[in-house]
Copies of this chain bind each other. A is one copy, B any other.
Amino acid sequence: MSSKKLSCGRDFFAVPNLAVALENGGKCGFDFVSIPLVHPRYKRDFIFADGSHVRDTISEPLTRNDLVLPSGEWMSLVVGKISPWLNVDSYDENIRTNSEKALFEELMLSMHLNIPVVLVPLLSKNCVNLARCLLSHCGLIKSNQAFWIHVPLTDPKSTLECSDCDSEDTWDWWNKLRTFCDNERRLSLALEIGCAVPSSIVLKRWLGEPVRALVISTDLFIMNRKGFPVLKRCHQELLCHFFKLEVQFILTGASRTENGLQSYYQYLDHLYMTRSVPDKMGAFAKGYNDYLQNPLQPLMDNLDSHTYEVFEKDPVKYEKYEKAISCFLKDRDSSELHEIVIMVVGAGRGPLVQAALKAASKTKMHVKIYAVEKNPGAVVTLRNRQKDEWGSVVTVISCDMRDWKPLVKADLLVSELLGSFGDNELSPECLDGAQRFLKGDGVSIPFQYSSYLAPLSAPKLYSSIEECRERDKKHFLAHYETPYVVRLWNAYVISPPQICFSFNHPKKDINNNRYACLRFRNGEVAATIHGFAGYFDTMLYESVSLSILPEKETKDMISWFPIFFPLKKPIQVCSFANIEVHMWRCSSLKRVWYEWLVTEPERSDIHNAGGRSYWIGL
């Protein structure tokens, strides 16, 4: 149960007295009102059909006086609605011209009143001029004013009985509008729930869009035996899916119960408060949802104490390592007489040393552990723990594993050098440097890891890339060809992940460059690709594994979020179309980087050519 209550507004068709409306809404528990910006009676004509202008002759005020509310209330309690009669995309030039002038008048008014959210109806796929007007207006405003595009969740023409007959894909209306507007971040969605509930795939796609509000009519409610409004199960489930996006609600339509409008609000709030609670990962990661982070560079930069602390708290990862080491030790059990040499390469502050000691203790094996670490800050911790906790069984080596010259060879190398995309923190290069001191029959934990890619629709992430621009970067689109570590939340995986690159340790081939061409097939609904989600899995020992792949995620493991490889320009993909992506892992003497390219359904250009925008230092 969350302690935060549902945010829900009350919609009005016309408001004779705004202050009274606000007061009544508040009494019923509503948090805000949505009202027409201009009274419906003020339908204005600027140009008559003969081309002459009439606007100047109107000296009546456009709408209510702004003095009816203190500005603080305009700024926090009011959602303004654009007049529904406007049709800026009419084929009739007079209607189009009048509508356009009226639209700009209403937008200017909303800006004058500092109304935080404007609700803009989108009634069809013909929306080039609406897009143009909105984008023009967005260029004018300095405030954080947002535009909620009011779109039906399913075509109103479709019904529960017949969801296919002649109905349009309303997602495509929205997709057109936002494409024309180049994913302008001020534009988001208010979805109107209708009788029909969309299919699972259509719903998933909507959940990848920036939905800020659901508009729900009192018509959709049925009365329970006590006369209180409730929703059908299918609508309840639908709402619950959107709770994860923390949407607000707008209740429209007249009350149909003696229990008053507050009973509708109470029911919605009840649904919200009794929604399922997030799991461990969810609770830990909530603040990171859709938050773009630059991937760590643990080889170039030394991690700080806090970062170590966060990762050491993973409740699962080190248990898995301990299990893997135990299995390894058991396999050696019968034949080995001498002590087993374990080298923990990249020991950090010692969690893997601890895991190895636990495994040795449980399996009652004699081990000698070398803890190799290049970060002098972490070595301080290691030496203290060696002295205070571990004793002579552990030797701390303050050295880069690629440079260390040990006197003995190891039976087991243990490392945790993997990033969100597996090899992206340069585990292959580090372990290549370390495998010199592994015995001929020595083993590496992990012994294998693979990266995965999946095409992703993530308009919210795409819009926020713009904020990651760094002025000093050489290439002006550098931030669009840089991968980001991010907990994917308001995003839609278009097709299941496929394996990209794999590495095994120890290995003969020291060429760590890779190339993969992956071919995905889109499902039954059209989508927009904003980039690719990257994941990894790894085999530690025998069948002991870790994974962040959605379908086989290691439960409760919090150490890794996925990685996101964006595209400079989103690509439209039709239903059942192929998606072909090429991914390279490249290297020079001092750097490793990825380059990527889409060749189907459309050709992109090569992203991050020669590592110009993003690289990992060796």
Interface residues of A (CB under 8 A from B): 47, 51-53, 93, 96-97, 128-129, 131-132, 135-140, 176, 179-182, 476, 508-511, 513, 515, 517, 569, 572, 582, 584, 586, 595, 597, 599, 602-606, 609-612
Contacts and interface: CB of A to CB of B under 8 A. Distances in A.
B128 A582 contact: yes
A245 to B, nearest CB: 25
B609 A139 contact: yes
Nearest to A610: B136
Contacts of A584: 129, 132
A169 B609 CA distance: 27
26 contacts: A51-B508, A51-B509, A51-B511, A52-B508, A53-B510, A53-B511, A93-B515, A97-B511, A97-B513, A128-B597, A131-B606, A132-B609, A135-B606, A136-B595, A137-B610, A139-B610, A176-B603, A180-B597, A180-B604, A180-B606, A181-B605, A182-B605, A476-B476, A569-B569, A572-B603, A602-B602
A605 B132 CA distance: 9
Contacts of A140: 610
Contact of A515 (B129, B139, B182, B508): B129
Contact of A179 (B97, B603, B612): B603
Contacts of A138: 609
Contacts of A509: 51-52
A597 B181 CA distance: 10
Nearest to A514: B93
Contacts of A139: 609-610, 612
Contacts of A131: 597, 606
Nearest to A569: B569
Given A96-B515, A135-B609, 18 more contacts: A51-B511, A52-B508, A52-B509, A53-B510, A128-B599, A128-B606, A129-B584, A136-B586, A136-B610, A136-B611, A137-B610, A139-B610, A179-B603, A181-B605, A181-B609, A569-B569, A572-B602, A602-B602
Given A132-B597, A597-B128, A180 B602 contact: no
Going nearest first, the 3 A-B pairs with the smallest beta carbon separation are: A136-B610, A182-B605, A51-B509
A180 B136 CA distance: 32
Contact of A610 (B135, B476, B604): B135
A181 B476 contact: no
Contact of A609 (B136, B510, B604): B136
Contacts of A97: 511, 513
Contacts of A51: 508-509, 511
A132 to B, nearest CB: 5
A180 B137 contact: no
Nearest to A582: B128
A572 B136 CA distance: 27
A323 B481 CA distance: 60
Contacts of A586: 136
A314 B137 CA distance: 43
Contacts of A595: 132, 136
Of the candidates A93, A96, A138, A182, the one having the most CB atoms from chain B within 10 angstroms of its own CB is A182
Contacts of A476: 476
A112 B80 CA distance: 65
A41 to B, nearest CB: 26
A605 B180 contact: yes
Contacts of A47: 511
Contacts of A128: 517, 582, 597, 599, 606
